[in-house]
């Protein structure tokens, strides 16, 4: 599915939960799509975005303030992963 098509279907609400979970989990999902679905009303979608290694640190920082503890914990864990990876790269 193309980005434009996804954005239209997402805005219309025609994507099923299982499709959104697959998108949120997929490490090849574009950062712009992950940013979009990180604001989804369903906490499981946001949790999967938080666990995706392709999710940008700025999105993870916002998810660290999520109202659901599970989302916050996962976002904090992945933010540490990003920070450790960046530190490793800078040292080598």
The total number of residues written for the chain in this structure: 92
Strand spans (E) along 10-92: none
Cα(67)–Cα(28) distance, rounded to whole angstroms?
27
- 77-89 pLDDT, tens digit per residue, is 999 987 765 654 6
Which pLDDT value is given to residue 82?
75
Determine whether 10 is exposed, middle or buried from the number of CB atoms within 10 Å of its CB (0-12, 13-18, 19+). middle
CA distance 52 to 41: 18
Question: pLDDT tens for residues 28-57?
Answer: 999 999 999 999 999 999 999 999 999 999
Q: pTM of the predicted model, to two decimals?
A: 0.88
CA atoms of 13 and 45, how far apart (whole Å): 14
């Amino acid at each position: 599915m193309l980005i434009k098509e996804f954005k239209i279907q997402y805005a219309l609400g025609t994507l099923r939960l299982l499709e959104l979970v697959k998108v949120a989990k997929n490490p090849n999902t574009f950062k712009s799509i992950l940013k979009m679905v990180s604001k989804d009303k369903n906490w499981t979608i946001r949790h999967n975005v938080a666990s995706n290694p392709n999710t940008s640190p700025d999105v993870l920082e916002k998810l660290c303030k999520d109202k659901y503890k599970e989302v916050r914990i996962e976002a904090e864990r992945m933010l540490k992963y990003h920070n450790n990876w960046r530190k490793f790269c800078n040292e080598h």
